[in-house]
């Protein structure tokens, strides 16, 4: 359904992505792992054209696009089929929870107001925020804000949702809230590409894992194999560090 | 026009203007004691008080003031500023007298005492050459005029039924006239001649000249404290008139004698 | 205070406040409205980095902020007739004040636009909205909230600057005061009187600013 | 352009720029320096919420921002002598411009102080520093960095406002221009000339502002 | 060494701390746990007088202070014996890493500049930042900033350090960095009071645990007992939620 081929990106001469390939099938939940600075965020931003990749190709539903020559119109078309959940939510600060969800429907998709409100409420209900329609972002807790962001993504009925570290700004209990919603989406067959540091999520919810370092994919494949039988030395070390810092001594 | 920084003149350095005293007592005595008289003027109204090409403060009023100072046996110190400021400074006691072609007018006499007149100035109604509608003051009825805000001309124009707007300075009134925004402006006859000296090509004419001339005097604070000063100035003016000095200066700056009531 | 002076002040109060209400305030309000439109445009083309237009905006702001308001009034009112363009005093004043204030406000609004986190624009894109849609519905409303206090300040300052319109024959409050001075020769007292009337106007505007800020802050500061 | 007009403009250039350099610029720089000191004090007492002083600062800002500069010049220069206080023109101008500009800058600096995160002050306390120590070494430097662009704007605006000093007999640039106009009767051309000289001064100041901002931004924006 | 008795604090009429007691001995590492909003941050801030508690008493090195009547001078005195590490670091943004550490020494403790610089460098070396003396906060990663904050706390040679969620803003690898430094301090016998969501830290480094909810201490005591044999029903539930969200399915 989504295929990225040989994507490259440099900032001021420093290469951040050095030819990355990603393959996502309908219904896949792909977890992208990797140490800080490995280029995970940059990858997602390039895929959604928030950064312009220097080279590479994107195939979406069989249509091919070159990153360096895609037109504004094509970008706009692709964005209507995808959704993005930011690490720091990026809710519209001047809009209520409900308006955050309906804005894209009414303005970008020209949906009648009433229908948008209905869909918006459904989406908020789904993430457990039926009682927060008219709250502004700054009146919501971090976990609630992130759930509004997910509702905003859901409401547009996208073919795939990109997540950038959806729980890194949350405390353990709030993390639980958000992960539960994501697990439910996975169960319903939503296609998702998720940058995350939550090993438990990668381990139990995603069916594929991509491990990156220094702008390159080190290892990727089936999630069970990745955790139980990693192939690369660097992957093994990464998993060991993570486990150590989680257990500290044990 | 030549520079005229006479011996008994001190060109005021404006950044450190000495101030007249506000203390009680006779102003003339104070002036004599200080050795100078502080004279306020605009410095931007040719040929009464202005700066020549070498930036010297010159003009009829400047030389009259110097001559008066000489008669009083003191030096003249000049302070230049904007009109309203000069008035305020006079009231506040910063300046002793104002020599700036000031019309003697009953309303003004409520606030200031004036010397005897030392010049007579007829008011001119100035229009463009093409204008043939305005031939008497009465013709101002319903016409647009503009005058400097601080002058008495606005009142005169209003009196004859003109629609009056004001502007900050003289030049603007000529600009308004030339750009056809107004029908006429009222000003001193002499000012018109001076402007025409600078702009001989300007298509402006004097359409009406008032019969009666305004009397130009020197205002000073009201009251006992200035009584002696006023008398001394009046004496000085009388002497200067008799000696022909005023006529001479008038010829020098205006090209005619306006120091005598005609 | 002498009885005469008191009478002058009482008598002139109405004469001064009338052009204040009928000229100074309308001139300020109309000019400020146009200034805001100009400022938003000039700020937006810079923010959006539109080649050509951005340079035009920079040039406009540079020249207008660099030269005195009085000179601008002169050029428009006394200069343009040389090119055959004669504009009436009030519209000329509105043009000059709008253009002048617009340049200052443009800088304020540009700074406010830049203070809106980049993520807001990106979130707009990801919701499928175009640049202009996101600007109009998300970025500008947030920026205007930030710009509100400095813009209010500019408005208050402008009330007083309109007195320069006297130079192009607009009969506003300060000119009327000067006329009364020309008749009565009481500049100090009358200046203080007109000063107090300006203070009255400013106080009303300041109060309105406070109310406006409270309203805009109703749902807390835009922290999250 | 006629030869005569051209000669007038060439001849007057030096005459105008000289008082610009010897009077307008010094008056601006000196007044602005005092204004900053006043403004910091007025902003600090509000920020620190010092009872009494805070009210004094609010009152000062209210009155000064609410009344025209020209009225303030009149009151100090022509009003105070009635109370026996006679101040020379240049010092009077410095006082009025400092006090006036101080009120506007105080608001700018107060807003900047409020934009410094509360955590910075708390971190100062926890490091054992007193309120004043933390203000001086941590909060104020950060606030001044935020306030730098709007303060630069105020400075540039002030260059032109100093022309009002002509009202209290200070011979600055604009007054000299008016004198030349009085002799030559060429207001438009000369006003444009003096406008360009103001533009020159402003451009230099704007350049200095850019350099200053670059320097202050040397270690990135104060994001983290 | 530090004893807090019956501390109370309300905001606008809502009680946030309803009479909390804490007891810290020399060399203790006390972990304060509890769900979001339970008052942990408020407790630390009251103890360090960043908020004024409504009632209660503090005993420090045998000296007693009433929260509602303590003088500014006493507060200043106590602050010189304690240090605070903020959740979001609060480094002085206009000072370099080294200046951040020396500022309190030179300005508040009137230490000669040279001596302060020496101590500052030692402190930064200790947290592994020997190569970052002259970096400004915004040039440092989150983990590095938090370590500067710890160095700043260390340099003043305090008797106790308070930490408010010192790792919550960091990714797992950076969390590891910071926790390693804290573990080292614990090993050296530093007394610490740590609000944290890191169960592994609470479990393995701290010797005492305080579990709070709704402004009250639900359970406190020995850390091993707390985790292995919790007494209260709410504590058990809390530990279960945490474990679940960590494991997600298991
Ligand atoms: N706009 C930019 N300009 C220059 N360098 C950048 C920019 N954005 C990212 N980088 C660099 O690119 C590299 C990859 O950054 P990226 O944010 O993609 O990493 P990441 O894998 O998401 O890390 P983290 O887990 O910390 O979020 C980093 O070294 C970063 O410093
Ligand atoms: N300044 C304040 N004004 C009003 N209420 C406040 C204020 N500070 C905190 N509160 C309230 O006090 C309660 C406790 O807050 P506190 O920050 O101490 O919780 P916490 O245990 O640190 O939570 P977290 O784990 O999310 O940091 C919360 O309900 C919060 O909303
Ligand atoms: Mg990232
Ligand atoms: Mg907390």
Whether E236 maps to a domain, the answer reads yes
Find out whether B206 and B125 touch, Cβ atoms under 8 Å. yes
pLDDT, residue B211, reads 86
pLDDT, residue D105, reads 93
Reported as a single tens digit per residue, the pLDDT across E19-48 is: 999 999 999 999 999 887 788 989 999 999
DSSP D83: G
Reported as a single tens digit per residue, the pLDDT across E79-137 is: 999 999 998 889 999 999 999 999 999 999 999 999 999 999 999 998 889 989 999 99
Whether E220 maps to a domain, the answer reads yes
Whether E110 maps to a domain, the answer reads no
Where does chain C have alpha helices with state H? 3-19, 25-47, 53-66, 69-74, 89-115, 118-126, 131-134, 140-161, 173-184, 187-216
Whether E215 maps to a domain, the answer reads yes
pLDDT, residue C1, reads 65
> Is the CB of residue E215 below 6 angstroms from any atom belonging to ligand 2?
no
In the predicted model, what is the mean pLDDT of chain B?
A: 86
In the reported structure, the alpha carbon of residue E43 is separated from the centroid of ligand 2 by a whole-number distance in angstroms of 9
Residue C31: cis peptide before it, omega within 30 degrees of 0: no
CA distances, D151 to each of D31, D77, D220, E238 (Å): 13, 27, 20, 53
Residue A183's domain spans which residues? 2-89+161-246
CB atoms closer than 10 angstroms to residue E54: 15
Q: How far apart are CA C111 and CA C43, in angstroms?
A: 9
- Ligand 1 contacts (CB < 6 A) are A 11-12, 16, 34, 36-42; E 171
Tell me the average confidence (pLDDT) per consecutive run of 10 residues in chain B, 262 residues long: 40 45 72 93 89 90 96 94 86 91 86 93 92 91 86 85 82 86 90 87 91 91 91 95 94 90 74
Reported as a single tens digit per residue, the pLDDT across D25-81 is: 999 999 999 999 999 999 999 999 999 999 999 999 999 999 999 899 989 998 888
Beta strands A216-222 and A208-213: pairing type? antiparallel
Contact E176 A244 (CB under 8 A): yes
Helix (H, G, I), strand (E, B) or coil at C68: coil
Residue among E36, E205, E247 whose CB faces A200 most closely:
E247
In the reported structure, the alpha carbon of residue E53 is separated from the centroid of ligand 2 by a whole-number distance in angstroms of 14
pLDDT, residue E142, reads 76
pLDDT, residue B11, reads 45
Ion ligand 4 neighbours, Cβ < 5 Å: E 41
**Could you tell me how many CB contacts below 8 A there are between chain B and chain C?**
73
pLDDT per residue, tens digit, chain A (250 aa), is 899 999 999 988 889 999 999 999 999 999 999 887 788 989 999 999 999 999 999 999 999 999 989 999 999 999 999 999 998 889 999 999 999 999 999 999 999 999 999 999 999 998 889 989 999 988 887 778 889 999 999 999 999 999 998 887 666 677 777 888 889 999 999 999 999 888 888 888 899 999 999 999 999 999 999 988 888 988 888 888 777 665 443 3
DSSP B76-123: EEEEE--HHHHHHHHHHTS-SEE-S-EEP-HHHHTTEEE---SEEEEE
- Could you tell me the sign of the dihedral formed by the alpha carbons of A184, A187, A193, A199, in that order? positive
CB atoms closer than 10 angstroms to residue A110: 8
pLDDT per residue, tens digit, chain C (224 aa), is 688 889 999 999 999 999 999 999 999 999 999 999 999 999 999 999 999 999 999 999 999 999 999 899 989 988 888 888 888 889 999 999 999 999 999 988 998 898 888 899 999 999 999 999 999 999 999 998 888 888 988 898 899 999 888 888 888 898 889 888 877 888 889 999 999 999 999 999 989 988 988 887 765 444 33
> Is the CB of residue E176 below 6 angstroms from any atom belonging to ligand 2?
no
Contact E183 A248 (CB under 8 A): yes
Residue among E76, E136, E145 whose CB faces D219 most closely:
E136
Whether E8 maps to a domain, the answer reads yes
Q: How far apart are CA B123 and CA D156, in angstroms?
A: 43
Residue nearest atom 25 of ligand 1, based on CA coordinates: A36
pLDDT, residue B15, reads 40
Q: How far apart are CA B211 and CA B261, in angstroms?
A: 12
Q: How far apart are CA D197 and CA D25, in angstroms?
A: 12
Domains of chain C plus CATH, in order, are: 3-215 (1.10.3720.10)
Whether E104 maps to a domain, the answer reads no
Contacts of A171 in chain E (CB under 8 A): 36, 168, 197
pLDDT, residue E199, reads 83
pLDDT, residue E91, reads 94
> Is the CB of residue E196 below 6 angstroms from any atom belonging to ligand 2?
no
How many domains is chain E partitioned into structurally? 1
Residues in chain B: 262
Contacts of C171 in chain B (CB under 8 A): 165-166
CA distances, B56 to each of B249, C105, C151 (Å): 17, 43, 45
E30-44 burial, b at 16+ Cβ within 10 Å, e below that, comes to bbbbbbeebbbbbbb
Residue A201, domain CATH: 3.40.50.300
Residues in B 162-201 with any Cβ partner in D closer than 8 A: 169-172, 174-175, 195, 198-199
ipTM score of complex? 0.80
Whether E26 maps to a domain, the answer reads yes
Contact E183 A244 (CB under 8 A): no
Q: How far apart are CA A152 and CA A158, in angstroms?
A: 10
Q: Between these two residues, E144 and C122, which has the higher pLDDT value?
A: C122
pLDDT, residue B128, reads 93
Res. D222: pLDDT tops 50: no
pLDDT, residue C135, reads 94
Q: How far apart are CA D179 and CA B50, in angstroms?
A: 7
Whether E94 maps to a domain, the answer reads no
Contact D129 E103 (CB under 8 A): yes
Find out whether C156 and C172 touch, Cβ atoms under 8 Å. no
Q: How far apart are CA C105 and CA C35, in angstroms?
A: 7
Q: How far apart are CA A136 and CA A131, in angstroms?
A: 12
Find out whether C72 and C98 touch, Cβ atoms under 8 Å. no
Q: Which helix (H) or strand (E) holds B208?
A: strand B204-217
Q: Which residues pair with A160 in a beta bridge?
A: A82, A191
Q: How far apart are CA E70 and CA E66, in angstroms?
A: 6
Reported as a single tens digit per residue, the pLDDT across B54-106 is: 889 999 999 999 999 999 999 999 998 888 888 888 888 889 999 999 989 88
The CA distance from E202 to the nearest CA of chain D, in Å, is: 24
pLDDT, residue A244, reads 65
Q: Is E240 exposed, middle or buried (0-12, 13-18, 19+ CB in 10 A)?
A: exposed
Residues in E 162-201 with any Cβ partner in A closer than 8 A: 168-169, 171-176, 179, 183, 197, 199-201
Taking the alpha carbons at both ends of chain B, their separation in whole angstroms is 26
């Amino acid at each position: 359904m989504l295929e990225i081929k040989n994507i490259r990106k440099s900032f001021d001469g420093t290469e951040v992505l050095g030819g990355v390939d990603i393959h996502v099938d309908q219904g896949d939940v792909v977890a992208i792992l990797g140490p800080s600075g490995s280029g995970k965020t940059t990858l997602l931003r390039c895929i959604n054209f928030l950064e312009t990749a220097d080279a590479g190709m994107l195939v979406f539903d069989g249509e091919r696009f070159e990153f360096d020559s895609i037109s504004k119109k094509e970008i706009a078309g692709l964005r209507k089929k995808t959704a993005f959940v930011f690490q720091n939510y990026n809710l519209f600060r001047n809009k209520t929870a409900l308006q955050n969800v309906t804005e894209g429907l009414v303005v970008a998709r020209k949906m009648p107001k009433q229908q948008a409100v209905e869909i918006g409420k459904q989406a908020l209900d789904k993430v457990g925020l039926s009682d927060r329609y008219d709250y502004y972002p700054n009146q919501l807790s971090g976990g609630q804000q992130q759930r509004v962001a997910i509702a905003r993504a859901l409401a547009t009925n996208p073919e795939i949702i990109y997540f950038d570290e959806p729980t890194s700004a949350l405390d353990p209990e709030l993390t639980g809230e958000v992960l539960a919603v994501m697990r439910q989406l996975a169960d319903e067959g939503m296609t998702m590409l998720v940058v995350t540091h939550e090993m438990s999520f990668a381990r139990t919810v995603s069916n594929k894992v991509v491990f990156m370092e220094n702008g390159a994919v080190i290892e990727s494949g089936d999630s069970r194999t990745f955790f139980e039988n990693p192939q690369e030395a660097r992957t093994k070390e990464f998993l060991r560090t993570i486990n150590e810092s989680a257990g500290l001594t044990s | 026009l030549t520079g005229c920084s006479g011996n008994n003149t001190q060109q005021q350095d404006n950044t450190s203007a000495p101030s007249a005293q506000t203390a009680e007592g006779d102003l003339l005595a104070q002036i004599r004691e200080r050795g100078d008289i502080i004279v306020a003027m605009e410095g931007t109204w040719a040929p009464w008080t202005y700066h020549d090409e070498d930036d010297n403060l010159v003009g009829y009023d400047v030389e009259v003031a110097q001559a008066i100072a000489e008669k009083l046996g003191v030096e003249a110190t000049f302070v230049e500023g904007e009109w309203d400021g000069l008035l305020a400074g006079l009231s506040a006691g910063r300046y002793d007298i104002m020599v700036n072609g000031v019309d003697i007018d009953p309303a003004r006499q409520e606030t200031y005492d004036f010397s005897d007149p030392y010049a007579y100035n007829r008011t001119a109604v100035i229009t463009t050459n093409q204008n043939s509608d305005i031939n008497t003051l009465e013709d101002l009825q319903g016409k647009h005029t503009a005058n400097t805000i601080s002058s008495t001309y606005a009142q005169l124009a209003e009196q004859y039924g003109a629609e009056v707007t004001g502007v900050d300075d003289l030049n603007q009134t000529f600009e308004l006239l030339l750009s056809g925004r107004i029908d006429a402006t009222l000003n001193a006859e002499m000012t018109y001649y001076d402007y025409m000296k600078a702009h001989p090509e300007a298509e402006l004419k004097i359409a009406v000249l008032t019969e009666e001339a305004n009397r130009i005097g020197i205002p000073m604070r009201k009251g006992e404290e200035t009584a002696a000063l006023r008398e001394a100035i009046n004496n000085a003016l009388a002497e200067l008139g008799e000696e022909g000095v005023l006529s001479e200066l008038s010829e020098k700056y205006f090209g005619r004698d306006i120091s005598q009531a005609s | 205070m002498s009885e005469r002076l008191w009478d002058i002040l009482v008598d002139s109060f109405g004469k001064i406040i009338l052009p204040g209400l009928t000229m100074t305030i309308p001139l300020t309000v109309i000019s400020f409205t146009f200034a805001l439109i100009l400022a938003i445009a000039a700020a937006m083309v810079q923010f959006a980095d539109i080649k050509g237009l951005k340079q035009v905006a920079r040039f406009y702001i540079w020249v207008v902020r660099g030269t005195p308001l009085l000179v601008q009034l002169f050029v428009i009112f006394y200069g343009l007739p040389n090119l055959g363009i004669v504009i009436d005093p009030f519209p000329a004043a509105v043009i000059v004040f709008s253009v002048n204030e617009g340049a200052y406000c443009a800088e304020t609004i540009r700074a406010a636009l830049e203070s809106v986190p980049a993520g807001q624009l990106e979130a707009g894109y990801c919701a499928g909205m175009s640049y202009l849609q996101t600007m109009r519905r998300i970025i500008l409303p947030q920026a205007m909230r930030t710009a509100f206090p400095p813009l209010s300040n500019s408005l208050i300052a402008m009330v007083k600057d309109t007195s320069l319109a006297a130079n192009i024959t607009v009969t506003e409050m300060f000119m009327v005061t000067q006329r009364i001075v020309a008749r009565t020769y009481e500049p100090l007292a009358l200046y203080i009187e007109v000063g107090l009337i300006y203070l009255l106007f400013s106080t009303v505007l300041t109060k309105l600013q406070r109310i406006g800020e409270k309203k805009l802050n109703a749902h807390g500061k835009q922290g999250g």
